[in-house]
A and B are shown apart, each in its own frame.
Chain A
Amino acid sequence: MTAHAALRALLQVALLVVLPPLLPGIVARVKARVAGRQGPPLLQLYFDLARLVRKGEVKSRTAGPVFHLGPVVGAAGALAAGLLVPGPGAPALLSFPGDLFLLTGLLAAGRFATVLAALDTGSAFEGMGAAREVTFASLAEPALFVCLLVLSRATGELSLSGVLGPALPAAWAQWAPALLLCAVALFVLALAENARIPVDDPTTHLELTMIHEVMVLDHSGPDFALVLYGAAVKLYVFGALLARLALGGTGRGILPGAVGLLAGLALFAGAVGLVESSMARLRLVRVPQLLVGAGVLSLFAFVLLVR
């Protein structure tokens, strides 16, 4: 490995580890500005994490070791998934044909553990959130597969780095309508997978209406820090994929690539904030329709490619 490649790998890891908590900060700032408020500092999540890490934890008497599995596996799955996401102007640290299925598998493992951790508390509300989370995820997963399939078909590549790499500009030139549909579907799925409005409201205070938040009600201290951090990394993973897709591969060298990626991530977080400012949460029964809609949209994009 040359010094250059080592430096690039280091930069990718650093971005993956350090950057994610910034995204929720941007979302919150955008929402506050649209509502005419000052809003919390951009780095609020970093402060929160530092505070939580220094705290002890309060654990339910019902819960056992599985309770800790949720935060740990959730964060580890999201970070490992982050290794598969192409970095600034370069392929991912780990890239092979079919790596998109490893990405979804890792995210699914995190979800599996989070759901079990919620059920371990024996709380009715957490059980409800857990049931909703897996039910909606079972619909989001096929849609996500079709999205990635469209990208693969349009570029003829089988790995995420290949799909979102040098082959992308040519694919945009040839298949713009299909890729646009796919990007829209992917954005909807990013909102759903990351428990944002219109699927789930991260700021709600009513346990009955929550999905993701209610599952982690009983976590505190380092556990809760891991939950928040894992969620931020997951948002980063989806944001980075979408940024690469929308910006057509984000440049060649490290520097233009990094600038492109940061700009794309900021745009993504801004878009999430705007959606959250302008929409209400959908009724629970409408959520499956939204997810199936995203799936149908991307399937339609696939048909456009096959035609």
Chain B
Amino acid sequence: MSLYIAALALLTGGAFAALGLSARPKLAVAVATGAAVLACALGLAPSLGVLASGGALDLSLPWNPPLAAFHLRIDPLAAAFLVPLFALGIPASLFGAWYLRPQLGRRGLGAFLCAYDLFLATLALVFAARDAVLLLAAWEAMAITSFLLVSFDHQEAEVRRAGLVYLVASHLGAAFLFALFLLLGREAGSFDLDAIAAVRGGAVAPALAFALALVGFGVKAGLPPLHLWLPEAHPAAPSHVSAVMSGVLVKAGVYGILRVVTLLPPPPVAHGVALLLLGLAGALGGITLALGQRDLKRALACSTIENVGILTAALGTALSARALGSPALAGLAALAALFHVWNHALMKGLAFLSAGAVVHATHTRDLERMGGLWARLPAVGALFLAACAALSALPPFNGFASEWLIFTALLRGAVSAPGAAGLCAALALTALALVSGLAALAFTRLAGVALLGEPRSEEARSAHAPGPAAWGPLLALALACLALGLFPGAALRLLAPAAGQLLDLPPAEVLASAGPAVRLGGALPRGVLAFLALGLALELWRRRQVRRRGQARAETWGCGFTRASPRVQYTASSFSQLLLSTLAPRLLQPRARVTPPRGVFPGPARFEQRVQDPAEERLFGPLFHATARRFRQLRGLQSGKLNLQLLYTLVTLVALVVLLALRSAP
């Protein structure tokens, strides 16, 4: 536990040191980055230790605020989320130091570095807090520090808007959490989570508590329709912040839901099914939204909605299976979901960081202005391609390993469960198969349009390759993705205690439910290795053959079209057009405005396309506008005169006193 506290202290110290060193930006960046990297390394040790041993670390310190206690505990569930935070924190911070180099002279850099280190510290605190007040305090501090990080480029109106959307969403979500913990704390007579867990929520209806948690934490997790802030905030933030937000901050929402589940009585089937449906809706909606985006980082943000959806669906499967009395299936699904938490943190971290390097080199996030970047930034290109393959759940990467586990869990359910439950599992499996097919479309689109072919703009043509300071940290992440894909057994052994804690099962039983196929030297890794070996052998054969027979270079075959130009390449919009216009539901289709060329000698033509998010256009947009309209009517009361305002205060006070007197009279 002392290592964890040291990590927190180091992060806080680094944060304020960086603020103090604002006048010497180079040193400030070095101090903040050094503190973050060292703290993450320190924090990783106890987290992995807890998972390896299956025990828990506990610490209580005296704390002054009323009703609160500084009670920390790293149990397996917390450690399962701390590991990706610290593991991703190291490469993200190192990349950040490179990414911030052009900003060295900027005002506000010290504050940004301070907010970054504090952000990591508050995230670590959220996972370990064992007291509801402490948890909420850390939660709010996390929201505020990440808001500051998102608004780093606040000169741009778009970024200010993104920051505002994020802040409002966070606070609305937090309101539900306050309600939830007030209810639970009142029942338990204490805000300590141990006390709340001891009474199992008391007289609070489990459905109410679950719903409050689902809304409050679901905002952070990006569950539909509360995902609105994600595609706004992720592209606005600097890339290493997007990586940590997408990899870990979003998972804090999932962690919150799971933590509340462990506090309440074992959830009924309905709760599991609700999670499953929400997850599937998020997965399908998120990936369809990703298909239409022209902004590289926005597309990645939409894919975060998809991945959180996938793992939420797996958690829903786990809870339903447990309620239906098949613990082996529940264990497998929970293990798969937690494994996906790790995998997504690594692969999405890699994707955001390499996208950051691409954006850094081309000065644009617009896919249609990229192209041909592999030839110019080969290292970054290869890493981005690896991230795309992992996110499309392809072997040999880690995304495939966790998705394989989720599919296997659903297959078992579909084969063995009777009646409706079996049919539900089969339908969920079909939906997830569709999601993985669409993910392949989305990521071939990103990688193909951004990296391959001819450059589509002058910026892309003149892009320069960054040095190893940029891609070094990414290489480590890519290797981690590959390692978890080839040897999932080691990670599953570590995660088994966390899944066991969630489902009240012994870790050995959870691990056994995954079957022998995923273990080291099991059949699954052997199949993936055979694939790698075959690919390597064929590649060597091909190279030898080309060396012996020679290679000629020529133009791409233009199908009879003689004046090839980069402008005839298939664009990002056209790549996904067939699916979006013919198969996507009308709600999710992009709005296109086309002015076709007319006449015998065609004149100018126009094509405009805008992606719409039904949650924004149909739900929250009208809702917020209607609310604003109502409140505008109250504006008449606010005249701006001081004496009137004082009168209002007096009247309110008198009314409250009268109310109290009336209530206590009889």
Contact = CB atoms under 8 A, between A and B. Distances in A.
A134 B441 contact: yes
Contacts of B385: 66, 116
Contact of B542 (A72, A123, A128): A72
Given A71-B542, A112-B389, A288-B583, A131 B552 contact: no
B569 A124 contact: yes
Interface string B399-436: 01001100110011011001100110011011101101
B553 interface: yes
A102 interface: yes
Interface stretch (B26-34, B215-223, B390-398): B390-398
B527 A221 contact: no
B438 interface: yes
B624 interface: no
A135 B582 CA distance: 10
Interface string A291-307: 00001000100110010
A127 B404 contact: no
B408 A132 contact: no
A222 B545 contact: yes
A31 interface: no
Nearest to B537: A76
Interface stretch (A32-40, A55-63, A178-186, A187-195): A55-63
A101 to B, nearest CB: 5
Contacts of B374: 64-66, 120
A109 B444 CA distance: 11
The A interface, classified by DSSP as helix, strand, loop or mixed, is helix
A120 B527 contact: no
A141 B434 contact: yes
Nearest to B394: A109
Contact of A131 (B372, B539, B574): B574
A158 B409 CA distance: 11
A159 to B, nearest CB: 9
B389 A123 contact: no
Nearest to A139: B437
A152 interface: yes
Interface in A110-162: 111-112, 115-116, 119-128, 130-132, 134-135, 137-142, 144-146, 149, 152-153, 156, 158
A72 B538 contact: yes
The B interface, classified by DSSP as helix, strand, loop or mixed, is helix
B440 A111 contact: yes
Given A97-B515, A98-B404, A218-B557, A80 B527 contact: yes
A106 interface: yes
Nearest to B430: A142
B448 A119 contact: yes
A158 B412 contact: yes
Contacts of B575: 127, 130-131
A77 interface: yes
Nearest to A214: B559
B266 interface: no
Contacts of A71: 542
Contact of B574 (A116, A127, A218, A221): A127
B527 A60 contact: no
Interface string A207-245: 100000000011001110010000000000000000000
B411 to A, nearest CB: 6
B523 interface: yes
B317 to A, nearest CB: 15
B546 to A, nearest CB: 6
B582 A83 contact: no
Given A119-B570, A127-B569, A138 B438 contact: yes
B666 to A, nearest CB: 61
Contact of A288 (B426, B558, B582): B582
Nearest to B397: A109
B569 A134 contact: no
Interface in A2-19: none
Contacts of A57: 546, 549-552
B452 A54 contact: no
A226 B538 CA distance: 9
A280 to B, nearest CB: 20
In the complex, which of the residues A94, A140, A222 has the most CB atoms of chain B within 10 Å of its own CB atom? Answer: A222
Nearest to A127: B570
Interface stretch (B53-61, B462-470, B528-536): B528-536
B452 A120 contact: yes
Contact of A63 (B431, B436, B556): B556
Contact of B539 (A61, A68, A221): A68
A158 B444 contact: no
Given A56-B546, A56-B550, A116-B448, A76 B538 contact: yes
A149 B432 CA distance: 14
Contacts of B452: 64, 66, 116, 119-120, 122
A33 B633 CA distance: 82
B189 interface: no
B414 A149 contact: yes
A152 B410 CA distance: 12
Nearest to A230: B538
B479 to A, nearest CB: 19
A153 B414 contact: yes
B195 to A, nearest CB: 42
A100 B451 CA distance: 32
B554 interface: yes
A197 interface: no
Interface string B62-100: 000000000000000000000000000000000000000
A105 B444 contact: no
A302 B423 contact: yes
B454 interface: yes
A295 B452 CA distance: 33
A46 B399 CA distance: 37
B524 interface: yes
B321 to A, nearest CB: 16
A138 B439 CA distance: 8
B422 A105 contact: no
A146 B430 CA distance: 7
B578 interface: yes
B336 to A, nearest CB: 11
B453 interface: yes
Contacts of A72: 535, 538-539, 542
A115 B444 contact: yes
A59 B539 contact: no
A108 B427 CA distance: 21
Interface in B504-552: 515-517, 522-524, 526-528, 530-531, 534-535, 538-539, 541-542, 545-546, 549-552
In the complex, which of the residues A63, A131, A152, A303 has the most CB atoms of chain B within 10 Å of its own CB atom? Answer: A131
A297 to B, nearest CB: 13
B408 A109 contact: no
B453 A61 contact: no
Contacts of B156: none
Contact of A153 (B415, B437, B528): B415
A142 B160 CA distance: 41
Contacts of A60: 553-557
The 4 closest A-B pairs by CB, nearest first: A127-B570, A138-B437, A119-B448, A122-B453
8 contacts: A76-B531, A98-B404, A101-B407, A115-B444, A124-B569, A222-B549, A285-B582, A306-B419
Given A153-B415, A221-B549, A222-B541, 7 more contacts: A56-B549, A61-B553, A62-B453, A80-B527, A122-B371, A158-B408, A158-B412
